[in-house]
Amino acid sequence: MGFGSLGLESIESIGKSLNLDIKGNVNTFRQNLQTAYVTRLIAMINGEKTDRFIVPAQSMAILQFEAIAEKITQPQRGSRISGT
């Protein structure tokens, strides 16, 4: 199944699992999966073939990308990154 065929529920589910990983140790498999996910979100928003995605899917990609960007730019309480 290609990324373009994922439903909006699948995109939301993946985004929620990314939120859980911000606070803990993440193995390399999950790191690679998350990198691929974010790369594909960017491609949906600003790639060469954005016209192959319907507008609601692109809107969801923007929403998910912005949520991820917000989470990674704000240190989490109790995380090793924030030092609290």
Per-domain boundaries in the chain:
7-73
User: What distance in Å separates the CA atoms of residue 18 and residue 81, rounded to the nearest whole number?
Assistant: 16
Confidence of residue 16 (pLDDT cuts 50, 70, 90): low
| pLDDT of residue 72 exceeding 50 | yes
Judge whether residue 9 has pLDDT over 70: no
pLDDT at 74 over 50: yes
Whether 21 shows a pLDDT value over 60: the answer reads yes
Could you tell me the pTM of the whole model?
0.59
* Mean pLDDT of the 37-47 span: 90
Instruction: Give the pLDDT band of residue 83 (cuts 50, 70, 90).
Output: very low
Give the residue from 67, 59, 8, 9 showing the smallest Cα distance to 38.
Answer: 67
